Amino acid sequence: MPAESGAISRDEVAHLARLARLAVTDEELDVFAGQLDVILGSVARVGEVAADDIPPTSHAVPLENVFRPDVRRPGLSQEQALSGAPAAEDGRFRVPRILGEEQ
Amino acid sequence: MTAPVLVDYADVVARYEPTLGLEVHVELSTNTKMFCGCPTEFGAEPNTQVCPTCLGLPGSLPVVNRTAVESAIRIGLALNCSIAPWGRFARKNYFYPDMPKNFQTSQYDEPICVDGYMDVTLDDGSTVRVEIERAHMEEDTGKSLHVGGATGRIHGAEYSLLDYNRAGVPLIEIVTKMIPDTGGRAPEVARAYVTQLRDLVKSLGVSDVRMDQGSMRCDVNLSLSPTGSGVLGTRTETKNVNSLRSVERAVRYEMSRQAGVLDAGGEIVQETRHFEEQSGTTRAGRRKETSEDYRYFPEPDLVPIAPSAEWVEELRGTLPEKPWERRARIQESWGLSDEELRDLVNAGALDLIEATVAAGAPAGEARSWWVAYLTQQANTRGVELDQLPITPLQVARVVALVASGDLNNKLARQVVDGVLAGEGEPDTVVEARGLKVVSDDGALIAAVDEALAAQPDVVEKIKSGKVQAAGAIVGAVMKATKGQADAKRVRELIIERCT
């Protein structure tokens, strides 16, 4: 990942923007590349104190195996589920078509 | 786009070596979803099996379904995998509205099951060992409906409609290692593997594994390399392969298509392709995103899963006999030919017959009920045999009632009809419909005498030694008693009274 070198290229920002389907202008690319660089640089400072014998941490609390029994719990009605949707049709969430993708 | 040039299959096999890889998704039949308590029923009204967690609403948190983890471990053990002593879920990020969270919770570099194998038996009895790379836990996505496009595809669609009932349903993805050296049998190996995997998972009772309903789905990875070159070709991944037959067809088609591209000096593009059930062809889908593009990272909202050795061994103890071993045992003990066994398996009758035998019925009777009368009833109703509202225990009871002489075959069918109609247990139906065989001599003698008196000419024949003429009297008595008389006893009484 680019964090190692502490620099994120303009192309990488453009690629990330495409993955997130964000329309980013050329000027914005310059601005974001600079800003992201600062953020990555700050985070990279952690690496300065983390020695090889310290494994990367994903969870702050040492917990394992938290499970729930396979028992049903009441959820939302269709009306409740769709109540926050900007658009709905036939009981379904309505979204703009996604360009260039087919799952 | 120009139509692909297809190379004749025999020609492909003569000049290219296929390498196969199969990814099978199995939807678990747990009561609830992977990370929340929503139901997982197939075919419910859209967005009626959802909650803040599976809709990805702010403030909601996932909690892992213990039964789903157990099912994953059992599948792994049945596939001879090692169970990882520690592992985390990961977020797979991608921009598509089929997951309202905007990521899918999956496992990435720490799958729960690794390094297994399954020995797959082909039609001619030979065996191919398929090695399993991994089996990991994830959640299914919602269903999209593309509106405005002519074909229901996204191209040309104006907008999409989303139903999230399926989003979050537990899914196990089982990935094989590359399967080399199958040559011209690659399509058959693929089909045999998926068939055997389906039977195995079904025997564990963890999934319906219905390919027609999407509870089992297969992606086919295939590449070709010129025979003897030793260079692995670029692979394509074909999705939407929704039946066992399609698995075979998809492999075969991709082999012919890729050979056409390679013969023309072209390059295979690494891409996702879609199988078209109607034509048996595949068409290009999206270019594959690299795994880096998914920006996987450990799921911070779920703590690691660390199955203890004791738990894993306990689950190992719950594994049933392997379906293919079980079949061999049944075939032997029932004395079935390969063909008879295959017919029973294809009719979905084997389990039912075995359970009926386990409930005390002789194998022949149990088989006859399930493959004849009950198969007819299932066909009439348009359901699978195992969906008929009658249990092996009930069939065994009917068989026992026939064996004890309480029912004859005709009455037995009426009892079965009663059970199928929801009238209760066989004994209840016998009672309520008054279906018991009449073997009480008092009642029978009266009916026999009446029949004899009505046909004096027949009586004369019997008296003169033509015993077979008694059949006419038996028929009359059976008619008079509405089929409830014990025919054997009736015949004895007729002979008695005519001599």
The DSSP result for A35-52, as a single string, is HHHHHHHHHHTHHHH--T
Q: How many residues does chain B have?
A: 499
The CATH code of the domain that includes A13 is 1.10.20.60
> Which residues of chain A neighbour B96 with C-beta distances below 8 Å?
98, 101, 103
Q: Could you list the residue range(s) of the whole structural domain that residue A41 is in?
A: 2-49
Q: Are B285 and A59 in contact (CB < 8 Å)?
A: no
Angle formed by the axes of helices B456-463 and B470-480, nearest 10°: 140
Asked if the C-beta of A23 comes within 8 angstroms of chain B's C-beta atoms, the answer is no
Q: Which helix (H) or strand (E) holds A78?
A: helix A78-82
Q: What is the pLDDT, as a whole number, of residue A74?
A: 95
A70 CA: distance to closest CA in chain B (Å): 6
A28, part of any domain: yes
Q: What is the pLDDT, as a whole number, of residue B288?
A: 60
Asked if the C-beta of B45 comes within 8 angstroms of chain A's C-beta atoms, the answer is yes
> Which residues of chain A neighbour B153 with C-beta distances below 8 Å?
102
ipTM of the predicted assembly exceeds 0.90: no
> Which residues of chain A neighbour B161 with C-beta distances below 8 Å?
89-90, 92-95
Q: What is the pLDDT, as a whole number, of residue B51?
A: 98
Q: What is the mean pLDDT of each run of 10 residues along chain B (499 residues)?
A: 86 96 97 98 95 96 98 98 97 92 95 98 92 98 85 71 97 97 96 96 95 93 94 92 94 97 93 91 77 90 97 97 92 89 86 92 92 93 90 95 88 93 93 79 82 85 82 85 81 82
B26 CA: distance to closest CA in chain A (Å): 18
Please name every residue paired with B105 in a beta bridge, in sequence order, or none if there are none.
B91
Confidence of residue A3 (pLDDT cuts 50, 70, 90): very low
A38, part of any domain: yes
In chain B, the domains with their CATH numbers are: 9-311 (no CATH), 323-433 (no CATH), 441-498 (1.10.10.410)
- pTM exceeds 0.90: no
CA-nearest of B169, B154, B281, B172 to B217 is B172
A29, part of any domain: yes
A27 CA: distance to closest CA in chain B (Å): 24
A25, part of any domain: yes
Question: How many domains is chain A built from?
Answer: 1
Q: What is the pLDDT, as a whole number, of residue B56?
A: 95
Residue A66, classed as helix, strand or coil, is coil
Instruction: Answer whether residue A102 shows pLDDT above 70.
Output: no
Asked if the C-beta of B205 comes within 8 angstroms of chain A's C-beta atoms, the answer is no
B5: Cβ contacts below 8 Å, ≥ 6 apart: B260, B261, B263, B264
A6 CA: distance to closest CA in chain B (Å): 18
Q: What is the pLDDT, as a whole number, of residue A34?
A: 92
The order of strands in the sheet holding B103-106 is B103-106, B90-93, B297-298
Q: Are B48 and A98 in contact (CB < 8 Å)?
A: no
Asked if the C-beta of A49 comes within 8 angstroms of chain B's C-beta atoms, the answer is no
Distance (Å, rounded) from C-alpha A29 to C-alpha A17?
9
Residue type, B75: I
> Which residues of chain A neighbour B217 with C-beta distances below 8 Å?
none
